[in-house]
Structure 1
Amino acid sequence: MSGLSIGQVAERTGLSVHTLRFYEREGLLAQPVRRGPAGHRVYDEDDVGWLGVCIRLRASGMPLTDIRRYTELVRAGQGNEAERLEVLREHRERVLTQRHELDECLKLITHKVGIYESRLGLRDHVPDCADQTL
């Protein structure tokens, strides 16, 4: 039986072996992980691709419960695309809100950096700001 070992998948995805086992236990894989003759996990390229999806969803802040729900819908096959779409739309809204909040934080930080660079002579002018003492 050819395929990838758990160590190879860990190396390719950047996930730890422990995390891969956790994802499997939590039902986050789109298909059951095959086992070799000795009982070792054997992954294929589809598994690696799906893990890439999970990694991105997780990195964007999607809760494991939502990833599990989305995985269950994918695993169930065609006919539930509207539900999959709803899971992704809801998450997209959370990501857009988070991105907006981060943009606002970045504006403040950039402004403050400008103030301190100006005070230290690293910048020619002070950015406009009502409170330049913080």
Structure 2
Amino acid sequence: MNIAEVSKQLDISPDTLRYYERIGLIPPVKRNKSGIRDYGETDLKWIEFIKCMRSAGLMVEVLIEYVELFRQGEETIAARKNILIEQRNQLAAKMEDLKKTIDKLDYKIEVYENAILK
């Protein structure tokens, strides 16, 4: 699958795909005889993972570290797991903060609704 097809399928720009590969956020993509990127299923799974993690707010640097550890092999499994646990804990804390904000907004909306009904 070429970069345009991947871009369309995963809704991510070709420039972003090139950037992610250049900075090591996704492993290097194989190229065909003409030098054109030829994305495989594994590449697509990496891109989906990175896209998901980025949309959740994970920092590029953390994800680069994770990918580098992955490339080093099975001896880094514990380190990779620790990165994911830490990121999950940070996201859970953010979710709790967002929940509190939503609760406050709901309260304020209710106050205004009650004021309008009077």
Deviation of 1:62 (Å)? 1.0
Q: Deviations over 1:18-69 (max 9, x none)?
A: 100110011011x321112222111011111111111111111111010001
CA distance in 1, matches of 2:116, 2:3: 52
Could you tell me which residue of structure 2 aligns to residue 22 of structure 1? Answer: 19
State how many pairs are aligned: 118
Structure 2: runs of 5 or more not aligned: none
Trace 1:12-51 onto structure 2 (pairs within 5 A). Answer: 12-29=9-26, 31-51=27-47
* Structure with the higher fraction of residues in helix conformation: 2
Structure 1: runs of 5 or more not aligned: 125-134
Deviation of 1:119 (Å)? 2.5
Among 42, 54, 60, the alignment partner of 1:58 is 54
Q: After the TM superposition, list the runs of 4 or more consecutive aligned residues in structure 1 that deviate by more than 3 angstroms.
A: none
TM-score after normalising by structure 1: 0.82
1:91 aligns with 2:87: yes
CA distance in 2, matches of 1:38, 1:116: 64
> Percent identity, aligned pairs only?
31
Among 100, 105, 112, the alignment partner of 1:109 is 105
1:71 aligns with 2:76: no
CA distance in 1, matches of 2:80, 2:42: 19
Supply the RMSD in Å over aligned alpha carbons: 1.4
TM-score after normalising by structure 2: 0.93
